[in-house]
């Protein structure tokens, strides 16, 4: 049976929307935010372990910057109108690449610094038309897992292959496989920047990285500054969406005058490899809700342990167990209102992976009876061992 993330996400209290905030601008409820924070922490640590340096950059930029990057000429229809402030025109950013290019330019760089991998999970804004908005899959404000890897030309092929491997690792950890890989190429329109030689070189590098993988070609789907590998997913209605991407860009480094000191003492221009391992948090979670039916793997489940005291006299022991679990880094709650049967059913509806039931024996001997989301029930055991078991299952899959 197919699952629609728009219905299930609201039923599980993961996200919602309000007309006063606006269409295409969902907000995250505490449970949804907890799951998202866990995934963001995983992505940052995965990137850190693979040589990425994380930055923060403003969600605004001057129109002049987007004119230099080419976004204003080629992407303006998807951008919000400029805001007048003093003598400046400020724009909500549709992309982080100009900011990261200027971070690269802000310091002297040497070939010894390359590849320089700059990453950020940051906000971006797209002026999507009302007719195409839908749930979390297409929104106007996105939080994008984004990175820009600045390379020497002879490093680009290896860098793209390494990004593909990292993508596959992240997707497996999150519990899904892409439906297809796509090589997005230039079309016949005049929106593309740069010359034929630049495009042919970038396309060749991406084809080399895709060697051995099955993929389709999609003319007309390239970014205006370069071809890209798109990792496709399919929603419950059978519609295809682009999730993760890798793009090779010779254009923007030239537009911003990026250079590094070469080994021979000269100056060279870097190549910019754009990447997003999992795309936006919004589209990613729309997909994850549908893939898992809301029953997320323990490591990013919003609540990992729900402690249920059978009677009021067991509340103190339940609270001590939840506190110990939180001290161990777990997300734990106590629910003591209503019959034990009703609370067990409510936890099952919330897809909580572990329930800890505490009665007379458990409270007296510092034990807990664990119930697992798949229906298994474990005999009462020491609370410390139960916490260790859950912590091992909930460890970030690095």
For residues 263 and 256, the answer to whether their CB atoms sit within 8 Å is no
109 inside domain: yes
Q: Per-residue pLDDT for 222 more than 70?
A: yes
- Per cent of the chain over pLDDT 90 is 91
pLDDT number for residue 292: 97
Domains of the chain: total: 2
**Domain region containing 88:** 5-292
353 inside domain: yes
Tell me the pLDDT band of 291, cut-offs 50, 70 and 90: very high
70 inside domain: yes
Q: 280 and 351 share a domain?
A: no
- Phi/psi for 216 (5° steps) reads -105, 155
pLDDT tens-place string over residues 229-273? 999 999 888 889 999 999 999 999 999 999 999 999 999 999 999
pLDDT tens-place string over residues 322-365? 999 999 999 999 999 999 999 999 999 999 999 999 999 999 99
Per-chain mean pLDDT for the chain: 95
Q: 66 and 204 share a domain?
A: yes
356 inside domain: yes
Nearest-angstrom CA–CA distance, 208 and 351: 43
Q: 171 and 319 share a domain?
A: no
Q: Per-residue pLDDT for 1 more than 70?
A: no
Residue range 96-107: mean pLDDT, rounded: 98
Tell me the pLDDT band of 193, cut-offs 50, 70 and 90: confident
Residue range 161-188: mean pLDDT, rounded: 94
For residues 226 and 199, the answer to whether their CB atoms sit within 8 Å is yes
- Phi/psi for 276 (5° steps) reads -140, 110
Q: 65 and 195 share a domain?
A: yes
Q: Per-residue pLDDT for 2 more than 90?
A: no
Q: 244 and 381 share a domain?
A: no
13 inside domain: yes
Q: Per-residue pLDDT for 71 more than 90?
A: yes
pLDDT number for residue 10: 96
Q: 231 and 165 share a domain?
A: yes
Q: Provide the phi-psi class of 135: left if phi over 0, else alpha when psi is between -120 and 50, else beta.
A: left
pLDDT number for residue 3: 86
CB atoms within 10 A of CB 87: 5
Q: 270 and 311 share a domain?
A: no
pLDDT number for residue 195: 87
- Phi/psi for 181 (5° steps) reads -110, 145
Q: At which of 269, 292, 315 does a domain end?
A: 292
pLDDT number for residue 386: 97
Q: 85 and 178 share a domain?
A: yes
Q: At which of 272, 292, 312 does a domain end?
A: 292
Ranges 94-103, 112-121, 229-238, 293-302: which has the least confidence: 229-238
For residues 381 and 387, the answer to whether their CB atoms sit within 8 Å is no
pLDDT number for residue 191: 79
pLDDT number for residue 115: 98
pLDDT number for residue 134: 85
Q: At which of 231, 261, 292 does a domain end?
A: 292
398 inside domain: no
- Dihedral angle, C-alpha 11, 13, 18, 23, nearest 10 °: -80
Q: Which residues are CB-neighbours of 392 under 8 A, at least 6 positions away?
A: none
Q: Per-residue pLDDT for 189 more than 80?
A: no
192 inside domain: yes
Nearest-angstrom CA–CA distance, 156 and 162: 10
CATH of the domain at 364: 3.40.50.800
pLDDT number for residue 132: 87
Q: 287 and 373 share a domain?
A: no
CB atoms within 10 A of CB 42: 19
CATH of the domain at 217: 3.30.930.10
Residue range 305-311: mean pLDDT, rounded: 97
Q: 308 and 288 share a domain?
A: no
Tell me the pTM. 0.95
pLDDT number for residue 235: 87
297 inside domain: no
b/e for 246-278, b at 16 or more Cβ within 10 A?
A: bbbbbbbbebbebbbeeeeeeebbbbbbbbbbb
Positive or negative, the CA dihedral 120, 275, 114, 265 is: negative
Q: 273 and 339 share a domain?
A: no
Q: Which of 90, 91, 102 is nearest to 55 (CA)?
A: 102
- Per cent of the chain over pLDDT 70 is 100
Q: 27 and 46 share a domain?
A: yes
Tell me the pLDDT band of 194, cut-offs 50, 70 and 90: confident
């Amino acid at each position: 049976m197919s699952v629609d993330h728009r219905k299930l996400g609201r039923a599980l209290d993961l996200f919602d929307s309000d007309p006063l905030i606006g269409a295409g601008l969902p907000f995250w409820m505490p449970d949804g935010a907890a799951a998202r924070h866990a995934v963001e922490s995983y992505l940052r640590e995965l990137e850190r372990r693979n040589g990425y340096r994380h930055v923060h950059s403003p969600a605004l930029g001057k129109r002049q910057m987007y004119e230099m990057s080419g976004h204003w000429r080629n992407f303006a229809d998807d951008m919000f109108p400029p805001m007048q402030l003093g003598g400046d025109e400020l724009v909500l950013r549709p992309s982080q690449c100009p900011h990261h290019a200027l971070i690269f330019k802000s310091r002297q760089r040497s070939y010894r610094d390359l590849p320089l991998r700059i990453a950020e999970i940051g906000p971006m804004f797209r002026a999507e038309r009302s007719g195409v908005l839908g749930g979390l899959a297409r929104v106007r404000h996105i939080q994008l897992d984004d990175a820009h890897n600045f390379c020497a030309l002879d490093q680009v092929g290896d860098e793209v292959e390494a990004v593909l491997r990292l993508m596959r690792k992240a997707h497996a950890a999150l519990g899904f496989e892409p439906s297809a890989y796509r090589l997005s190429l230039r079309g016949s329109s005049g929106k593309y920047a740069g010359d034929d030689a630049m495009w042919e070189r970038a396309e060749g590098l991406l084809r080399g990285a895709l060697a051995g993988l099955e993929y389709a070609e999609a003319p007309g789907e390239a970014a205006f500054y370069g071809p890209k590998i798109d990792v496709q997913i399919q929603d419950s209605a059978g519609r295809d969406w682009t999730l993760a991407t890798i793009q090779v860009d010779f254009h923007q480094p030239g537009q911003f005058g990026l250079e590094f000191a070469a080994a021979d003492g000269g100056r060279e221009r870097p190549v910019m490899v754009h990447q997003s391992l999992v795309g936006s948090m919004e589209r990613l979670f729309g997909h994850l809700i549908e893939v898992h039916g809301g029953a997320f793997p323990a490591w990013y489940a919003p609540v990992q342990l729900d402690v249920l005291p059978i009677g009021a006299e067991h509340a103190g022991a339940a609270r001590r167990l939840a506190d110990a679990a939180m001290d161990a880094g777990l997300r734990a709650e106590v629910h003591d209102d209503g019959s034990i049967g009703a609370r067990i059913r409510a936890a099952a509806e919330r897809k909580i992976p572990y329930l800890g039931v505490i009665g007379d024996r458990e409270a007296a001997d510092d034990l807990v009876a664990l119930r697992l989301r798949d229906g298994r029930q474990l005999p009462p055991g020491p609370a410390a061992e139960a916490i260790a078991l859950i912590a091992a299952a909930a460890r970030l899959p690095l």
